[in-house]
């Protein structure tokens, strides 16, 4: 027991332990140098201390006395409880500094109580036992340790301390069980966080890779352009071709923006949560890309074809290529068809416009339709009516929308998903908190 009464001095009164000095480490330090103390304090100080209850002299002389007592105590009561022997020993000398195993005054008191000693004088640390009398060690045998009453051995008798009712027991168990479950959920949550983090890392990595890729391309472009531009008379030649091309392009671009607006704009009022944005952004990005892509493709194909029809094949090829590569979205398909048509100059396409396209590409529904539609439809009114009313958004818009709906629906379903990350939106949190607040039995009434 550090810092507390490493040593102490017992000062016994007339009949019992009377006083006793407890010291902290500082005191210990203070007292550990008794010799020094004696020297310093000298008589005046010593007497001063004495008047305060300390018997310094006793302390100094205790050693000899101790040994004496030792023998005496041992001889007189071999079968006596050690505590009694020790205590009597102390008593016998009126003053006996003694070390028990411990240095706790309270422990000593506890022992006194255990052996039936009672405090006599509330004002003083006097404990008495009628069989503990100076000069009458033979009485000591009448003092017994109080302990045979193992209360725990008779559980039912001890009504005190209400036994745990089944109800209570169950309650406790339930609580623990619940805590376990919740903790487990927390663990899962943490786990999912880890997963997410991992996903993040992956995305980050991919982004980086893409980035590098792009950087490289850019580099290439730069050098390519640099090289090319150095060629004379190029720019001047391009003029005419580009012209028509660009015109068309513009129109397309309108669409592009249009879609963009649709897609990208929602952001503001997006009731959805994060998930949505992600989905949206993704789709929107895709679409944009598609737009651009298609635009580019269109021109890539159209223009050249105008000037050099034979290139068509290549164009087509390219088209296919791009198609396969890029699009995961319907939009692209459409585009493809459009592009392709012009592309397929005088090949099979021409021979059978309606069908040909399909077989050719048919891959995408849109394409098919487009081709099909291209067929001279007589009463198109019907179609248009339906087209403009029911699912007007046919084009990219359509797709976009569908995309969105898809996303939205997901949202609704999997609330947890995006926002889900917050498995715990405000409402949930609150309710949880509330519930937890109610956890306390008392509040439940």
Partner DNA sequence: ATCGTTCTAGAATATTCGTCA
Partner DNA sequence: GTGACGAATATTCTAGAACGA
Interface with its own copies includes 168 (CB under 8 A)?
yes
Containing H/E element for 436?
Answer: helix 426-437
Pair 55, 97: CB distance under 8 Å: no
DSSP element (H, E) containing 20? strand 17-22
Query: Does residue number 426 form part of the binding site for DNA (CB under 7 A)?
Result: no
Q: How many residues bind its own copies (CB under 8 A)?
A: 336
Query: Distance (Å, rounded) from C-alpha 301 to C-alpha 309?
Result: 10
Phi/psi for 124 (5° steps) reads: -130, 160
Give CA–CA dist 54/34, Å, rounded: 13
350 binds, among DNA, its own copies, none (CB under 5 to 8 A by kind): none
Binding mask 391-420 for its own copies (x = CB under 8 A): xxxxxxxxxxxxxx-xxxxxxxxxxxxxxx
The binder of 110, among its own copies, DNA, none, by C-beta within 5 to 8 A per type, is: DNA
Binding mask 23-62 for DNA (x = CB under 7 A): ----------------------------------------
Among residues 42 and 431, whose Cβ is nearest to its own copies? 431
H/E stretch holding 10 reads strand 8-12
Q: Which residues in 105-134 contact its own copies (CB under 8 A)?
A: 105-106, 109, 116, 120-125, 130
CA pair distance 40, 37, nearest whole angstrom: 5
The count of residues in the chain is 445
Tokens of 36: 């020094």
Choose the binding region for DNA from 102-110, 201-209, 303-311, 372-380 (rule: CB under 7 A): 102-110
Q: Closest distance between its own copies and the C-beta of residue 38, in Å? A: 13
Should residue 152 be labelled a site residue for DNA when binding is judged by CB under 7 A? yes
Residue 158 is a binding residue for its own copies (CB under 8 A):
yes
Stretch that binds DNA, among 33-41, 109-117, 231-239, 257-265 (CB under 7 A): 109-117
Residue 3 CA to residue 342 CA, distance in Å, equals: 97
Q: How many CA atoms lie within 13 A of 211 on its CB side?
A: 6
Please identify, among the stretches 95-103, 239-247, 282-290, 302-310, the one whose residues bind DNA according to the rule CB under 7 A. 95-103
Q: How far apart are CA 23 and CA 273, in angstroms?
A: 67
Question: Which option in DNA, its own copies, none does residue 93 bind, with CB closer than 5 to 8 A by kind?
Answer: none
DSSP string, 197-242: HHHHHHHHHHHHHHHHHHHHHHHHHHHHHHHHHTSTTHHHHHHHHH
User: Which position among 62, 95, 115, 137 is part of the footprint of its own copies (CB under 8 A)?
Assistant: 62
Binding part of the chain for DNA, among 89-97, 141-149, 213-221, 305-313 by CB under 7 A, reads 141-149
159 binds DNA (CB under 7 A): no
Contact residue for its own copies among 35, 43, 64, 135 (CB under 8 A): 64
CB of 58 to its own copies, least distance (A): 10
How many C-beta atoms surround the C-beta of residue 314 within 10 A?
15
Q: Which of 38, 41, 54, 119 binds DNA (CB under 7 A)?
A: 119
Query: Closest approach of Cβ 184 to its own copies, in Å?
Result: 6
Q: Contacts with DNA in 177-236 (CB under 7 A)?
A: none
Strand partners, 11: 19
Nearer to DNA, 104 or 262 (CB): 104
Q: Name 118's bridge partners.
A: 128
- In order, the DSSP letters of 275-335 are HHHHHHHHHHHHHHHHHHHHHHHHHHHHHHHHH-GGGHHHHHHHHHHHHHHH--SHHHHHH
Q: Which residues contact 252 (CB under 8 A, 6 or more apart)?
A: 291, 294, 295, 298
Residues near DNA (CB under 7 A) are 1-2, 81-84, 100-104, 106-114, 117-119, 122, 127, 145-147, 149-153, 158, 160-162, 165-167, 170-171
């Amino acid at each position: 027991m550090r810092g507390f009464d490493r040593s102490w001095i017992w000062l016994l009164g007339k009949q019992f332990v009377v006083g006793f000095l407890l010291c902290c480490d500082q005191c210990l330090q203070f007292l550990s140098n008794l010799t020094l103390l004696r020297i310093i304090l000298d008589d005046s100080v010593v007497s001063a201390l004495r008047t305060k209850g300390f018997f310094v002299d006793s302390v100094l002389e205790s050693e000899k006395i101790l040994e004496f007592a030792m023998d005496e105590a041992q001889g007189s009561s071999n079968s006596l409880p050690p505590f009694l022997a020790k205590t009597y020993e102390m008593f016998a000398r009126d003053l006996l500094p003694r070390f028990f195993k411990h240095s706790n005054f309270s422990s000593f008191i506890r022992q006194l109580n255990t052996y039936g000693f009672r405090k006599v004088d509330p004002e003083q640390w006097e404990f008495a036992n009628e069989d503990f009398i100076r000069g009458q060690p033979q009485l000591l045998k009448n003092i017994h340790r109080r302990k045979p009453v193992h209360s725990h051995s008779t559980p039912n008798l001890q009504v005190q301390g209400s036994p745990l009712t089944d109800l209570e027991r169950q309650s406790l168990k339930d609580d623990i069980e619940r805590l376990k479950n919740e903790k487990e959920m927390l663990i899962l949550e943490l786990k999912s966080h880890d997963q997410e983090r991992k996903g993040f890392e992956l995305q980050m990595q991919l982004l980086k890779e893409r980035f590098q890729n792009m950087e490289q391309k850019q580099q290439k472009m730069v050098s390519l352009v640099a090289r090319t531009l150095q060629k004379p008379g190029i720019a001047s030649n391009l003029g005419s071709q580009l012209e028509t091309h660009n015109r068309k392009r513009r129109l397309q671009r309108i669409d592009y923006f249009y879609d963009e607006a649709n897609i990208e704009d929602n952001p503001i009022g997006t009731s959805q949560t994060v998930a949505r944005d992600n989905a949206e952004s993704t789709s929107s990005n895709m679409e944009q890309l598609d737009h651009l892509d298609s635009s580019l493709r269109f021109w890539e194909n159209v223009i050249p074809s105008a000037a050099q029809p034979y290139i068509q094949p290549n164009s087509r090829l390219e088209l296919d290529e791009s198609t396969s590569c890029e699009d995961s979205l319907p939009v692209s398909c459409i585009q493809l068809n459009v592009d392709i048509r012009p592309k397929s100059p005088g090949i099979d396409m021409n021979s059978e416009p309606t069908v040909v396209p399909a077989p050719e590409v048919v891959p995408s529904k849109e394409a098919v339709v487009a081709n099909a539609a291209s067929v001279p439809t007589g009463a198109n009114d019907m179609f248009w009516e339906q087209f403009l009313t029911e699912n007007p958004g046919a084009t990219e818009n359509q797709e976009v929308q569908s995309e969105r709906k898809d996303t939205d629906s997901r949202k609704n379903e999997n609330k947890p998903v995006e926002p889900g990350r917050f498995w715990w939106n405000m409402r949930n949190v609150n309710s949880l908190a509330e519930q937890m607040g109610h956890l306390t039995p008392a509040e439940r009434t």
